[in-house]
Structure formats: structure tokens, C-alpha cells
């Protein structure tokens, strides 16, 4: 890819994205630049990934074809005020924060800009992320294709309508926490039943990963795969019945709706 990539901010998520891009070979380290607030982060990221890192937000914005705003949502407006005069009409700005709408970005810049709203998740840190992307009308198909290629270097990515972005935290952004809770509960039970904790976490985590892979690679409905494990009168259906009695599905649905409702409030600035 013959484009200059810039990151305003390079915390854990930014670093995961940078590492994925370099490891996949979709972009060279010398074509990536980033900014950070502390000298410690500047030195670490520069040494770790071999990219140019500074505190010069304006310089990175000026030189980037694809510019990632990898900062906390509450400082977006301030950062955009700082760099907006340096962002050219051809630069594609990619946001990675919840609740920052395409209209809000346009308003902050005070002009029409090419923007792709995105939301990656923390499994991007191990190359297994799930990202959602939503471009505005000024982004070309070629530009969107290039950005998708970058996101797919550290996981999977889907283009969705902006009206669905408020649901992304529940679907893929926050939901890893729910899965971690499920893994922890299963592992704790295994420890209660005599397993060493390291083996419990390994066996449970591999099982969760394998079950997810079955859904993705077979294309079969999760209910069908569940039924295939449930021998009549066996241990699995006994456990499934207990989960149903405990309201597992209802709890998951309520948790996801709570995430989405809060995300909608944040998008409205409430």
C-alpha cells in the first residue's frame, strides 16, 4: 500500500493496530508515523515498532494520507481544533472511539472531510480483532478498500450503516468482557472440582475459541451445533437446562441492550 499512515495517539489499541499492519506487510514501518504525550511512550513505540514518533500532532496530520485519531473520546474536539488546518481535502480521517458520529467530526472540523468511523476491539491486540467501519459519502471505494485492508491485518472487519454503530459496543466492543466473565466462571468451577488453575483457564479458553470457530467455519446455526452436543438424558442437556432456568439468555440480552442504550446516550451527548 503506497499511503502514509498517521496515528494521533498510540496507546494499547493504536499499538495493536500498528503491529498488525507491519506484521501483515500491508504497510512498511517507515510509512507510519505517530504521536504520544510522554517521552516514555514516544521512546518505547519508536524502539518497538521502528516508526517515527513525536509530540507533533500537526506534523503527523499534515503528512498523512490515512489519519487515525486514536485518542480518548473526551479530547477529540481539542485534537481536531489543533490539527484541522493541517488536514488536506484528500486525507481520510479514521476515528476509533465510541459515540463520535460522522456529523460530530464534520462539525468539529468546520468543513466537509473524508471520515471513516470505526470501532475495533481489544482482541486486536492478539490479531483476532473484530472491527466495524462506517464511511461518510466523501470516502471513495478505493480509500475504503485500503482502510479495510489495514483493519483486516489485525482481525476481521465489516462495513455497516452508521445507524448500527451504537450497537457495536454490545456486539463486539464490550462483549469480550462478557466472554471473559464466562471463561472465569467456568475456570473457577473447574478449580473447585480439582483442576489446577492454569490448566482450567487453558482448557476453558480453548473450548470457547473452538466453539466460536465451529460457528464461523461450518456456517451452521449455533442452536444446531448446541443440539449436536446434547445427548438425550446426558450431561450436556442437564447443564443447558440449568442455564435456561438461571436466565442466561435473558441476562445476556439485558447486558447487550444496556450497552447499546448507553452508547446511544453518548452519541447524543447526554
pTM of this prediction?
A: 0.89
Closest CA to 103 of 152, 165, 173, 51: 165
- Residue pair 64/143 in contact (Cβ under 8 Å)? The answer is no
Task: Please give the CATH topology (third level) of the domain spanning 173-267.
Answer: ProC C-terminal domain-like fold (1.10.3730)
Residue 213's pLDDT band (cuts 50, 70, 90): very high
Query: What's the alpha-carbon Rg for the chain, to the nearest Å?
Result: 21
Task: Please give the CATH topology (third level) of the domain spanning 5-161.
Answer: Rossmann fold (3.40.50)
pLDDT above 70 (res 270): no
Annotated binding-site ranges for NADP(+): 8-13, 70-73
Which residues have CB under 8 Å from 51's CB, separation 6+? 18, 29, 30, 32, 33, 34, 45
Q: pLDDT, tens digit, for every residue of 5-54?
A: 999 999 988 999 999 999 999 999 999 999 999 999 999 999 999 999 99
pLDDT above 80 (res 118): yes
User: What is the CB-side half-sphere exposure of residue 146 using CA atoms within 13 A?
Assistant: 17
Annotated binding-site ranges for NADPH: 57
Identify the three-state secondary structure at position 5.
strand
- Residue pair 18/155 in contact (Cβ under 8 Å)? The answer is no
Q: Where are the domains of the chain?
A: 5-161, 173-267
Annotated binding-site ranges: 8-13, 57, 70-73
For the residues 166-187, what does the mean pLDDT come to?
Answer: 95
For the residues 203-226, what does the mean pLDDT come to?
Answer: 97
Residue 2's pLDDT band (cuts 50, 70, 90): confident
Amino acid at each position: 500500500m503506497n499511503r502514509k499512515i498517521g496515528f494521533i495517539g498510540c496507546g494499547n489499541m493504536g499499538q495493536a493496530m500498528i503491529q498488525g499492519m507491519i506484521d501483515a506487510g500491508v504497510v512498511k514501518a517507515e510509512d507510519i508515523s505517530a504521536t504520544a504525550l510522554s517521552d516514555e511512550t514516544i521512546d518505547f513505540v519508536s524502539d518497538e515498532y521502528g516508526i517515527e514518533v513525536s509530540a507533533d500532532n500537526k506534523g503527523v496530520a499534515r503528512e498523512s494520507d490515512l489519519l487515525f485519531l486514536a485518542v480518548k473520546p473526551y479530547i477529540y474536539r481539542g485534537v481536531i481544533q489543533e490539527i484541522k488546518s493541517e488536514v488536506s481535502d484528500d486525507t481520510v480521517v479514521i476515528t476509533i472511539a465510541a459515540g463520535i458520529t460522522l456529523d460530530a467530526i464534520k462539525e468539529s472540523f468546520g468543513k466537509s472531510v473524508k471520515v471513516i468511523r470505526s470501532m475495533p476491539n481489544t482482541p486486536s491486540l492478539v490479531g483476532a480483532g473484530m472491527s466495524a467501519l462506517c464511511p461518510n459519502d466523501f470516502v471513495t471505494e478505493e480509500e475504503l478498500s485500503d482502510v479495510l485492508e489495514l483493519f483486516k491485518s489485525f482481525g476481521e472487519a465489516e462495513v455497516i450503516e452508521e445507524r448500527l454503530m451504537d450497537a457495536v459496543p454490545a456486539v463486539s466492543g464490550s462483549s469480550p468482557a462478557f466472554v471473559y466473565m464466562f471463561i472465569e466462571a467456568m475456570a473457577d468451577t473447574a478449580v473447585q472440582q480439582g483442576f489446577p488453575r492454569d490448566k482450567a483457564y487453558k482448557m476453558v479458553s480453548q473450548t470457547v475459541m473452538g466453539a466460536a470457530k465451529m460457528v464461523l467455519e461450518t456456517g451452521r446455526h449455533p442452536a444446531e451445533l448446541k443440539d449436536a452436543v446434547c445427548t438425550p438424558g446426558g450431561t450436556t442437556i442437564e447443564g443447558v437446562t440449568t442455564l435456561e432456568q438461571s436466565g442466561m439468555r435473558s441476562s445476556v440480552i439485558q447486558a447487550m441492550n444496556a450497552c447499546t442504550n448507553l452508547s446511544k446516550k453518548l452519541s447524543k451527548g447526554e
